[in-house]
Amino acid sequence: MRYYEDLVIGTVTKSERTYEVTREEVIDFASKYDPQAFHLDDEAAAKTHFGRLSASGWHTAAMTMRMMVEGWQTQEPTAGLGSPGVDELRWKKPVYPGDTLRVESKLIFKRRMKSRPEIGLMKTEQTVYNQNDEIVMTMVSNGMIQVRNPESDAE
């Protein structure tokens, strides 16, 4: 099990799994959560700057989360405790049906909570790429992780 003490700032993790974006999933997600015409209808999408049907940015974020979680499951388990939120989220380039996504995560910050020394806080930068190595999304997210030895003063 990996704990707060095992985290090294600057560590980059690349997803072992990629995500293939399908037309059916783009339309299904959009119809439930982001029902804008350019996510649902080929003709309407063709008339926009997207030029064709595109995935919702929120769908891209959800696919990214899936790749991240599956990556964690294939590595040594982490004593993760959830997330208090996201500081930044940027959709850099449209994601289209037929794209294949991958994600890289870089640990950029960590500290222990002053009020709860058994919990460590961390920030990671996620960069999502398509099959052409173009950046389609970036995100800075926050996570909480269990501290192995809460009585220690070590950072």
Give the CATH number of domain 4-146; options: 3.30.420.40, 3.20.20.70, 3.10.129.10, 3.40.50.2000. Answer: 3.10.129.10
Which residues have CB under 8 Å from 8's CB, separation 6+? 107
Backbone φ and ψ for 145, nearest 5 degrees, come out as -145, 145
pLDDT digits (tens, 9 = 90+) for 39-76: 999 999 999 999 999 999 999 999 999 999 887 777 77
Which tens digits make up the pLDDT trace of 89-135?
Answer: 999 999 999 999 999 999 999 999 999 999 999 999 999 999 999 99
Strand residues in the chain grouped as ranges (E): 12-14, 19-20, 85-91, 100-112, 119-129, 135-146
Q: What is the residue extent of each domain of the chain?
A: 4-146
pTM higher than 0.85 for the full model?
yes
* The pLDDT of residue 154: 63
| 62 φ/ψ sector (left φ>0, alpha ψ -120 to 50, else beta) | alpha
